[in-house]
């Protein structure tokens, strides 16, 4: 994930091909993903793996931005509350705690097209890496 000079990516070429954007919401960090037909599972809702990806990206970005250090996700804990059916889906993250080696963020996902219905809540823990650990990839 590259956050230099306002550049924001989801972390790999495949995910960066999705229709997404980074937004600032009330001083917090959020990632929005448009819910297109190719992202829906058999029941018509957004695939749970994409919910996990949004949780990971929003939480890691929030911690990286707050600490100005590169991070690696150490763990996630997600509670799926409702199906994401309309979109766009917004993942908003807030830092809960940062130590010398770890950061923890609270992440909430809502379906904006369905009256901002809460679809998942999560905690993301990231290990803070030394600055020289960051490897920039070209796109």
Domain with residue 45: its CATH number is: 3.10.129.10
Q: Is residue 138 part of a domain?
A: no
pLDDT at 127 over 90: yes
Cβ within 8 Å of residue 17, ≥6 positions away: none
Number of domains, the chain: 1
Q: Would 98 be classed as within a structural domain?
A: yes
Q: How many CA atoms within 13 Å lie on the side-chain side of 80?
A: 12
Domain that holds residue 99: 4-133
Name the DSSP class of 103.
E
- Identify whether 80 is part of a domain: yes
Q: Is residue 139 part of a domain?
A: no
Residue 132 pLDDT: 65
Radius of gyration of the chain (CA): 15
Whole-prediction pTM: 0.85
Residue range 98-112, pLDDT digits in tens: 999 999 999 999 999
Q: Quick check: is 106 in a domain? A: yes
Reported as a single tens digit per residue, the pLDDT across 66-125 is: 999 999 999 999 999 999 999 999 999 999 999 999 999 999 999 999 999 999 999 999
The answer to whether position 18 is within a domain reads yes
In a domain, 95, yes or no: yes
């Amino acid at each position: 994930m590259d956050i230099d000079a306002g550049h924001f990516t989801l972390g790999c070429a495949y995910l960066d091909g999705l229709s997404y954007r980074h937004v600032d919401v009330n001083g917090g960090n959020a990632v929005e993903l448009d819910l297109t037909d190719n992202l829906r599972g058999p029941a018509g809702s957004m695939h749970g793996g994409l919910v996990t990806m949004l949780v990971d990206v929003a939480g890691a970005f929030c911690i990286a931005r707050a600490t100005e250090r590169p991070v690696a996700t150490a763990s996630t804990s997600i509670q799926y509350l409702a199906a994401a059916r309309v979109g766009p889906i917004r993942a908003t993250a807030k830092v809960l705690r940062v130590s010398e080696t770890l950061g923890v963020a609270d992440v909430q996902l809502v379906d904006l097209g369905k009256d901002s219905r809460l679809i998942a809540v999560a905690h993301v823990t990231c290990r803070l890496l030394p600055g020289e650990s960051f490897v920039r990839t070209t796109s």
